[in-house]
Amino acid sequence: MPDYRRTWNPGGTWFFTVNLLQRKHNDLLVRHVDTLRRIVQSVRHRHPFIVHAWVVLPGHLHCVIELPPTDSNYPMRWGLIKAGFSRSLPVNERRSSVRLARGERGIWQRRYWEHLIRDESDFNAHVDYVHINPLKHGLVGRVIDWPYSTFHRCGTRGVYASDWGGGNGEVETNVVWIM
């Protein structure tokens, strides 16, 4: 069995990809985006972190977050987010015998991808990756058209030109996913 090692860096900024167990042809995250948003806000209130970029796609999400200067416990935060979201949904997903024996839901993949941001160039590349993802997956023709993204917040703050990623020059502020 592989030996999974985590990098602990208090105050670090991290890029994450978190997937549903059945990612393909699954729109669970966007169907329940308000619930996910409420859970993330609750965890942020109890265990603070800064959201630099976040996008929710039908079967997975990406984000860039920064932890407080003396804190490196992102696994606890992801555990709370995933468990809170799972508990908020009715139990109607297929679960393997292993998950049943462990009392686990069949919603999330157990692991997630994390990457410690090294410098400003790395940060900018990952924030761009987060925001371009709906376009990359063919969900929209323009980045600005995907409502479950901090792209809109970044656009209103001048981080991006409103036509970045095929936009039309108008920054919409009435969107669902603003952290």
Give me the catalytic one of 4, 112, 129, 148.
148
Tokens encoding 42: 């609750």
Nearest to 65 by CA among 168, 150, 174: 150
CA angle centred on 86, ends 102 and 95, rounded to 5°: 45
Q: What gap in Å lies between CA 179 and CA 56, rounded to an integer?
A: 12
Distance in angstroms (rounded) separating the CA atoms of residues 107 and 18? 11
Answer yes or no: are the C-beta atoms of 99 and 105 closer than 8 Å.
Answer: yes
Alpha-carbon gap, residue 26 to 93, rounded angstroms: 12
Closest residue by Cα to residue 135 from 126, 146, 150: 146
Q: Of the candidates 127, 98, 93, 123, which has an alpha carbon nearest to the alpha carbon of residue 108? A: 93
- Annotated catalytic residue 148: yes
> SS3 of 53, please?
strand
Residues with a catalytic annotation lie at: 148
